[in-house]
Structure 1
């Protein structure tokens, strides 16, 4: 079962990243009312919006990677 841990973990991590991106886009649309989050180099937004977007994106990614790789693989592979 240890041979399956890395491939399953990799696939779960990629799927978790895709899910995190989708969750972040939905959260951003509801919170800010905009389709796209501001980029760090965008002159149209202030520090507050850019930092909030970066922190929210990082939190969604960290949560999904934690849940998909650790918990999912340990349940799947035993």
Structure 2
């Protein structure tokens, strides 16, 4: 990887990580609400929720976060390649 590609990709990677967390959280809330018709999402310390529901919510949230991260990371890498001609692996 060239120095230019590294320089361009590093700030994007940091920003996309933060933005990805915000996007993933919003998507998870909408998906959970659509699936369960509940406004609030389960939390591990929620005494009124069962373990099955908490683990299901955590698995779904993790899957959504992984997909959002991959999409943003891939898009950023493609953008850097377009600008520099080098893939920032």
Instruction: Give TM-score, length-normalised by structure 2.
Output: 0.80
Task: Determine whether 1:65 maps to 2:69.
Answer: yes
Task: Determine whether 1:33 maps to 2:37.
Answer: yes
Task: Determine whether 1:49 maps to 2:53.
Answer: yes
Aligned residue for 1:3?
7
Work out which of the two has the higher radius of gyration on C-alpha atoms and give 1 or 2: 2
Task: Tell me the C-alpha RMSD between the 2 structures.
Answer: 1.0
Structure-2 separation of matches of 1:64 and 1:39: 21
Instruction: Give TM-score, length-normalised by structure 1.
Output: 0.90
CA deviation vs aligned residue, 1:3-53 (integer Å, no higher than 9, x gap): 011101111222121111110000010111111111111111111111111
